[in-house]
Amino acid sequence: MSAHSLESKLAILSDAAKYDASCASSGSTRRDSRDGSGLGSSAGSGICHAYAPDGRCISLLKILMTNFCIYDCAYCVNRISSNVPRARFTVEEVVKLTVDFYRRNYIEGLFLSSGVIRSPDVTMAEMVRIARKLRKEENFRGYIHLKTIPDAAPELIAEAGFLADRLSINIELPTDAAVTHLAPEKDPTQIRKAMAYVRVRMQGATDRSHAGKRPPRFAPAGQSTQMIVGADASNDATILGQSTRLYSSYGLKRVYYSAFSPIPDSSEILPLIRPPLLREHRLYQADWLLRFYGFGLDEITGVTSDGNLDLDIDPKLAWALSHRGLFPLDVNTASREMLLRVPGIGVRSVNRILSTRRHRNLRYDDIARMGASMRKARAFITAVGWTPGALTDRADLRARFAPPPEQLRLL
């Protein structure tokens, strides 16, 4: 192996990290050093590269510690049998890069993942050393997200939780069978065990002692996971069902869906049959409806006969179009639960509708001013001075929202 400069390592290891979707920093409590007590602030402003789910714009140095790996996960470009350029940062190099980039205001924090070198414990211990050095020696108060290796010793995961803002443990694939087939060195039971351990430690960190003393913080921005979609034959109902179980069992902040990118020399992987990025986008929309809009899994995935989301239109619109008998809804009398089901009307608009209609009846223009997308909502509501008439039941209503069919290219 030729020796790499720090710049070329950075090029290799930041490129290798781009397949990891789980790096948003929502929900972190503030570590603030603006009083001069340290370096950095997890909630400060800087150059922004990503939006967290809470709307905050953040930038992170997102790298792998190394893309050497002793495992052979069929869906991963860094697997041992893959012929990619390899590099490895030292602990000191990652610390220096993070601090230098932070000082130059390029980043607000670090997202650190890694291939597995020698053993899960050795790898996790190195990652923990990086976080420890940043926190204890550099007094770094910026955001740290550590990707946790599920087979690592609980003491290492525990220390990672005390140092990082967020931990994530990848569930990898939608079913245990797919993990066993495509990532033979990984154990789905061990992955869930590690998630459960993190949850218990997070809960323990919220209990005050009898004397009212706060315990040390443990992953205050919570834990998340990533699921690769499109590398196995699971349909969207299976994927979302797995997410629903993960949210409720392990208190996850977020399940990240990562569209599988084809790897040329992997014979194990299915050919791509659905546009991966569009599928990923629809899964995020459906996930949101399940968590914040009161939809049930069967409602979202029962719209099509194969359990997959309609890729042409968003899942709420797809549901409303197949339940037109429930519409139009009168925005002046409909319940909160039903208003949340109107396409084009989000949680914030629903809250505004509910508070305003206590004082007066709402007109069509009022709903538009409250931030609703009337292009979608108009067929599903009535308001003072507005009724959709026959629009709700028109046979071509779906076609008005779906993109026009494209001519397939033959060559």
Residue with smaller CB distance to ligand SF4, 8 or 81: 81
Inter-residue contact 273 to 346 (CB < 8 Å): no
Closest separation in Å from C-beta 19 to ligand SF4: 9
Distances from the Cα of 20 to the Cα of 189, 217, 261, 272, 358, angstroms: 22, 26, 11, 19, 46
Residue with smaller CB distance to ligand SF4, 151 or 314: 151
Residue with smaller CB distance to ligand SF4, 69 or 317: 69
Residue with smaller CB distance to ligand SF4, 116 or 195: 116
Inter-residue contact 284 to 50 (CB < 8 Å): no
Distance CA 322, CA 347 (A): 22
Distance CA 355, CA 100 (A): 48
Residue with smaller CB distance to ligand SF4, 73 or 94: 73
Closest separation in Å from C-beta 165 to ligand SF4: 22
Closest separation in Å from C-beta 16 to ligand SF4: 8
Binding-site ranges for ligand SF4 (CB under 6 A): 69, 71, 73, 76, 78-79, 115-116, 183
Residue with smaller CB distance to ligand SF4, 115 or 188: 115
Closest separation in Å from C-beta 236 to ligand SF4: 22
Closest separation in Å from C-beta 116 to ligand SF4: 5
Residue with smaller CB distance to ligand SF4, 79 or 253: 79
Closest separation in Å from C-beta 291 to ligand SF4: 26
Closest separation in Å from C-beta 149 to ligand SF4: 8
Distances from the Cα of 60 to the Cα of 34, 63, 94, 142, 371, angstroms: 19, 9, 13, 10, 31
Distance CA 263, CA 83 (A): 11
Distance CA 264, CA 283 (A): 25
Distance CA 73, CA 61 (A): 25
Distance CA 258, CA 272 (A): 14
Residue with smaller CB distance to ligand SF4, 14 or 361: 14
Inter-residue contact 232 to 180 (CB < 8 Å): no
Distance CA 67, CA 86 (A): 6
Which two three-digit tokens encode residue 250?
Answer: 């392990």
Closest separation in Å from C-beta 249 to ligand SF4: 22
Q: Which residues contact 25 (CB under 8 A, 6 or more apart)?
A: 42, 52, 56, 58, 60, 108, 109, 143, 145, 165, 166, 221
